[in-house]
Amino acid sequence: MFSVEAEVGNGGRAGVLTTPHGQINTPAFIPVATRAAVRAVLPEAMKELGAQALLANAYHLYLQPGSDIIDEAGGSPFWDGLAGRFFGMNFQDADQFNAIHGNQFIADLMPKHPVYVAMLSESARSAIGVPHPSGRAAMRMLEEEGFAFEGYIDIFDGGPTMTARTDQVRSIAEARCDTVIRTDSTGGERALIATGRLSGFRCCYGLREAAEDGVVIDQQAADLLGVEPGDTVWSVAR
């Protein structure tokens, strides 16, 4: 639940976000902790910096094989067959160390000369470029967006690392820039609509209708973005 405590004329406001784990005073500095940790920064340090919360992507945590899967499989085949031989730590310890301290230790300890695939065990070779079963849907989503597997793999499990040229990403290549001519659309196509740059960037899901001299968006989207007729927006169908 969010309650507004104060407002100013330009649309700014201060409030309190109440969650099952406590209250967060806004505006707030909330770091992104992709795997429930901010890399290279200890939780105690984040608290000292005044962070009231951490944003963690639960889907990324879901993709990580848990201790039950690792134990059942006897460890990560790729890690055990390659990286584990250079680091002296098992997959679970390495993953935890990476989440807290970052992955620079991998670059420091891995050999600087090529490692021949033929020297790896069969189980390690079979893991190269193969996504975890729970990550295949995410891989397909990235492929639809223009990402591709180009031979780069994850050092931990040998899975594919997806890459893309910026101008070939679907959301960028198909985006169009238009002038808002009206804000009364009720039957347009669903689209991501955005305005502004950097700290002023805002984006929402709304309706758009292409017109001869611009675009018509719905009023709710206009209110969320803070735009009116005459302003410029970017949009891409979704």
Residues paired with residue 236 on neighbouring β-strands, in sequence order:
192
Residue 132 a catalytic site member: yes
> Are 87 and 109 in contact, with CB atoms under 8 Å apart?
yes
Q: Which residues contact 2 (CB under 8 A, 6 or more apart)?
A: 15, 16, 17, 18, 26
Sign for the pseudo-dihedral over CA of 74, 79, 85, 86: negative
Q: Which of 21, 101, 113, 132 is catalytic?
A: 132
β-pair type (13-19, 22-26): antiparallel
Q: Which two tokens stand for residue 167?
A: 């101008």
Strand residues in 143-231 grouped as ranges (E): 148-153, 160-163, 176-182, 189-195, 202-211, 214-217
Active site positions, annotated: 132
